Structure 1
Amino acid sequence: MLARLTLPQKFLLLGAIAVLMIAIPTWLYLRTANEAMTTYEAEQRGLPAVVRVLQAVKLTQQHRGLSAIALNGGGTEGRRAERQKDVDAMFGELDAVVTAADNADVAALWRDARRDWETVRDAVAARRINAADSFATHTAVIGRLLRIGELVGDIYGLSLDPHVDSYQLIQAMYYQMPALTEELGKLRARGAVLLTRKEGSQDDRFIVAQLLARAEDRLGQMRNAFDKSAHANPRVASELGPLMQAASSATLALAQRTQSDIVRPAALTASADEYFAATTQTIESLYAANDAASRLLGKQLGERVDAFERDRILMLLAQLALVAGAAWTGVLVARSITRPLNQTVDVAQRVAGGNLVNDFDVGPPTEVGQLLRALRDMSESLGRIVGEVRGSVDTINAATHDIASGNADLSARIESQASSLEETASSMEQLTATVRQNVEHAQRANTLVQEATAAAGSGSEVVQRVVATMGEIDASSRRIVDIISVIDAIAFQTNILALNAAVEAARAGEQGRGFAVVASEVRTLAQRSATAAREIKELIDHSVTKVGQGNALAGGAGTAMAQILDSVRRVAGLMQDIALASSEQSAGIEQVNQAITQMDDVTQHNAALVEQTAAASASLEQQAEALARAVGIFTVAPGGQKPVGTTGTGVRAIAS
């Protein structure tokens, strides 16, 4: 599937993957940041709610103490009535806190606390309750309020703050400090009652001592949590340290005063109002530290929300900038790849279109640059090769044209030569017939010469009868003259045939050289035969002339007959030579005739081959022209065409 995608699509796919790689961590971060911001915002909403609950606790504690004094005959009714109004007003505000908390446990505790408060409020105002029941009811209301404060802190996440400094500070100010103020409030109420009555039993003193011990324990837990917070955040120590130190010192001083005024003395002589005021002042110092801690926590939570909002915005801006930068970088990278690739495709298309003149910048030595450089080298190499091929094609085209022309000329010459050979073969057939006839005549002459030889031998025997048979000799001489005339004619015809054979051999050129030699020998033999025939004729004429004188020359007849016999024998030898030469001449002419016939066949075959070669040359010429047209579509640099190979002149010379 990826192979079908274009480069822009592949880069878009990589970009989408990169966006996902960035978006998922960003989404996780934003989700975590939103959760943290939600937590901090919930804590911000929870701080005022817890503060109102603690204000209600503080006012209820004060009303408890003032009610205890008033029910024991003290003069605090006016202040108690004012504090009652404050508690009613604060309870009215707590209705909104409970409604916003939207928690069943908080709602149930709030219903019970409000009911008990209204009951004890009305009872104290009407003096229908004693101090102990008032104390117990007030304590129950305060306990429910403290529990509501804890639940509200849990609902808004104050008890689960992820930071050590704020978590420990919340533990100190919203859990340990309210419990400490409750112990001090109980201590204030009981101590003020005892000091108002100016007496106290051991049980009363023991209860006060227990309350004091629990208060000191709560103070230690509060200080421990506060010290952890201050250690984690120096700002806590610098802003809350003096208030916490003052509250701790006031609490310790109150503990010592309680020991000295209530627990240890036998008679309770201390002023109840002063003790109440001192206890109230200590509790107020704790609430002052709590208010400062609430303000500091509010600032910290606001700063954290602002920091998270700022960090989230910065993160989003950074991510957007990173995505934009990555996108721009991707665009630049894509351009740096696609543009050279487009240039590569353009060059390849131009090469495919036949344009091999491609001079372009290959750019830096990157992978694409190396591809462009290789493409440029390939284009240049193809240009050189095509130039050389074009030159070779031009040369081949010219050579094939010359070959075709040469083959056409050669075909015409072969046809002419074939016609000449046919005529030569016809002449040789005639010559062969003539030579055969000469051979037959020579054989007959040889027979006659042999007979003449026998006759000459017989003449030697009957030389004694020469005179008597001179007439017969004369007749025989005449017959001999006729035979000699025939021989002379044969020699003359043989000479003529030998002359014609020599002329034909001369026309045949190199191939007729052997035939010319044979014809020359035959002519020589014919001339010799003619010479011998003339000599014989002269002898016979002389013999005939001398026949009349034969009788007179009978004495010399033997010698003459011996000479005649010798001459006849010589003639017989010559005639045998003529017959043999004629036979050899006939055999040679037969061979020449066969050779000329073979030459005629070869010439005819060569003519057919030449015609095929001419047709192949014409086809080759057409293919060379087609190749030239095919190579002609390429555009090469000037000087790129280099003709190579055999020139047309050389081909024409070879064809000739």
Structure 2
Amino acid sequence: MMIELASEPFLALASGVVAAGLIVHAVLVRRRAPAPVDAAEAVGTCRLMLGLVRNMQQHRGMSSAWLAGDAGFGPRMDARRRDITDLFVRLEQALESEYVRACPYPEQAAFEELRQQWQALVDGLAQRSAEDSITRHSFLIATVLDWLSGYGEARLAPLVQGSGTAAGVRSYTHRLPAVTEALGQARAIGSSVAARKGCSPVARVRLLFLIARAEALVAQSTRDPAVAGEAAVRDRARHCVAEMARVVRADMLMRAGVTVSADDYFALATQTIDAVFAWIEACGGALLQAETRAHPRAAPTSRLELGA
């Protein structure tokens, strides 16, 4: 009897502890349960990643010319760094709900590592060669492009299934961004070549490869009706890529030598890349419109813009 009486308070206490534990567990589960992503949020996050890519690409091209001896690019690099810092903050905020998922794109640790690598690149830029700067920039940009591709496949593609434009997600988050990166590397290498007024055999081969790759990717994207976007935007991008290819082949790689200035080449390449980013934005808008038609709902009240 004494054992039974003694056990009653213990059982009551144990029951209370178990109940409290279940309540705490339920609260934690609710806190960590990721909210569903809608198409507007997914495209908004993609736009921020694209903005980070775009500004890093510009900084890479500017730093190449600067390291090759054109000091005029210094202030413009500073402006890009401020934009990139702002985009890191905005993207971090957009990814808060992503980090609680089982397979986040990207993982929080990877995001912090990239931010630290970017700062290390900026801090040591003056001690690097133009070639080393291009390599290090390209590695960081490739990381963000991988995030964009994975995020698009995991978060955006399921939202547009059945709307007739699911195939466009790959071009929006992978193929057309790859065009900008091929052109971005060509801008960086070409800016260094133009600043030095000389093209090494290695730079020549690399420029020819990058221009050919950009042309091939543009042709593939143009043939896909799901990602064609508005005809005017698409056609302008195609025209700009063709003109940049002509300048590279005729004004940088001919026997006459380099006949274009670093400023003029950088401006032309940037205009071309901007045209491709406009095409990407049109594709993102088309995906949103198609998803809205397939699943009507109240229109979003805000929009995350692509980084400048």
1:290 and 2:290 are equivalent in the alignment? no
1:267 aligned counterpart, secondary structure: coil
Equivalences for residues 383-462 of structure 1 within 5 A: none
Q: Which has the larger radius of gyration?
A: 1
Separation in structure 1 between the aligned mates of residue 297 and residue 89 of structure 2, nearest angstrom? 35
State the match for 1:106 in structure 2: 106
1:52 and 2:48 are equivalent in the alignment? yes
Deviations along 1:217-267, one digit per CA (max 9) or x if unpaired, are 221222223x3455xxxxx5xxx1110011011111111111112223441
Q: Deviation of residue 297 (structure 1)?
A: 2.4
State the match for 2:4 in structure 1: none
1:63 and 2:59 are equivalent in the alignment? yes
Q: Deviation of residue 68 (structure 1)?
A: 0.9
Separation in structure 2 between the aligned mates of residue 68 and residue 159 of structure 1, nearest angstrom? 40
| C-alpha contact (below 8 Å) 2:39/2:159 kept by paired residues | no
Deviations along 1:161-212, one digit per CA (max 9) or x if unpaired, are 3246422332222211100000000000000100110001222101111111
State the match for 2:118 in structure 1: 117
Separation in structure 2 between the aligned mates of residue 131 and residue 96 of structure 1, nearest angstrom? 33
State the match for 1:162 in structure 2: 161
Separation in structure 1 between the aligned mates of residue 42 and residue 263 of structure 2, nearest angstrom? 36
Q: Deviation of residue 135 (structure 1)?
A: 0.9
- Which amino acid is 1:167 matched to? A
| C-alpha contact (below 8 Å) 2:240/2:272 kept by paired residues | yes
Q: Deviation of residue 283 (structure 1)?
A: 0.6
2:259 aligned counterpart, secondary structure: coil
**Number of aligned positions between the proteins:** 259
Deviations along 1:325-372, one digit per CA (max 9) or x if unpaired, are xxxxxxxxxxxxxxxxxxxxxxxxxxxxxxxxxxxxxxxxxxxxxxxx
| C-alpha contact (below 8 Å) 1:159/1:171 kept by paired residues | no
Separation in structure 2 between the aligned mates of residue 229 and residue 77 of structure 1, nearest angstrom? 37
State the match for 1:216 in structure 2: 215
Deviations along 1:514-547, one digit per CA (max 9) or x if unpaired, are xxxxxxxxxxxxxxxxxxxxxxxxxxxxxxxxxx
Separation in structure 2 between the aligned mates of residue 176 and residue 283 of structure 1, nearest angstrom? 14
Separation in structure 1 between the aligned mates of residue 151 and residue 172 of structure 2, nearest angstrom? 14
1:243 and 2:233 are equivalent in the alignment? yes
Separation in structure 2 between the aligned mates of residue 98 and residue 265 of structure 1, nearest angstrom? 50
1:100 aligned counterpart, secondary structure: coil
Separation in structure 2 between the aligned mates of residue 224 and residue 55 of structure 1, nearest angstrom? 26
| C-alpha contact (below 8 Å) 1:159/1:170 kept by paired residues | no
Deviations along 1:573-594, one digit per CA (max 9) or x if unpaired, are xxxxxxxxxxxxxxxxxxxxxx
Deviations along 1:43-84, one digit per CA (max 9) or x if unpaired, are 332100011000110011001111111111111001110011
| C-alpha contact (below 8 Å) 1:57/1:142 kept by paired residues | yes
Higher helix share: 1
TM-score (norm 2): 0.78
Separation in structure 2 between the aligned mates of residue 47 and residue 96 of structure 1, nearest angstrom? 15
Separation in structure 2 between the aligned mates of residue 159 and residue 71 of structure 1, nearest angstrom? 44
2:69 aligned counterpart, secondary structure: coil
| C-alpha contact (below 8 Å) 1:180/1:219 kept by paired residues | yes
State the match for 2:94 in structure 1: 97
Separation in structure 1 between the aligned mates of residue 167 and residue 117 of structure 2, nearest angstrom? 33
Separation in structure 2 between the aligned mates of residue 90 and residue 282 of structure 1, nearest angstrom? 22
1:101 aligned counterpart, secondary structure: coil
State the match for 1:82 in structure 2: 79
TM-score (norm 1): 0.38
State the match for 1:499 in structure 2: none
Separation in structure 1 between the aligned mates of residue 264 and residue 191 of structure 2, nearest angstrom? 9
CA spacing shift, 1:180–1:109, aligned 2, 3 Å: farther
1:176 and 2:175 are equivalent in the alignment? yes
| C-alpha contact (below 8 Å) 1:184/1:283 kept by paired residues | yes
Q: Deviation of residue 104 (structure 1)?
A: 4.9
Between 1 and 2, higher relative CO (CA 8 Å, sep ≥ 6) is seen in 2
Q: Deviation of residue 96 (structure 1)?
A: 1.9
Q: Deviation of residue 105 (structure 1)?
A: 5.7
2:95 aligned counterpart, secondary structure: helix
| C-alpha contact (below 8 Å) 1:120/1:137 kept by paired residues | yes
- Which amino acid is 1:128 matched to? Q
- Which amino acid is 2:132 matched to? D
1:131 and 2:121 are equivalent in the alignment? no
- Which amino acid is 1:290 matched to? I
| C-alpha contact (below 8 Å) 1:44/1:301 kept by paired residues | no
| C-alpha contact (below 8 Å) 2:105/2:151 kept by paired residues | no
State the match for 1:303 in structure 2: 293
Separation in structure 1 between the aligned mates of residue 49 and residue 261 of structure 2, nearest angstrom? 31
CA spacing shift, 1:292–1:229, aligned 2, 3 Å: closer
- Which amino acid is 1:84 matched to? R
Separation in structure 2 between the aligned mates of residue 68 and residue 111 of structure 1, nearest angstrom? 25
Question: Once superposed, what is the RMSD of the aligned Cα atoms?
Answer: 2.2
Q: Deviation of residue 100 (structure 1)?
A: 2.4
Separation in structure 2 between the aligned mates of residue 304 and residue 88 of structure 1, nearest angstrom? 37
| C-alpha contact (below 8 Å) 2:160/2:287 kept by paired residues | no
- Which amino acid is 2:49 matched to? V
2:296 aligned counterpart, secondary structure: helix
- Which amino acid is 2:41 matched to? R
- Which amino acid is 1:260 matched to? A
1:152 and 2:148 are equivalent in the alignment? no
CA spacing shift, 1:229–1:121, aligned 2, 3 Å: closer
2:214 aligned counterpart, secondary structure: helix
| C-alpha contact (below 8 Å) 1:44/1:302 kept by paired residues | no
State the match for 2:251 in structure 1: 261
- Which amino acid is 1:42 matched to? D
- Which amino acid is 1:88 matched to? T
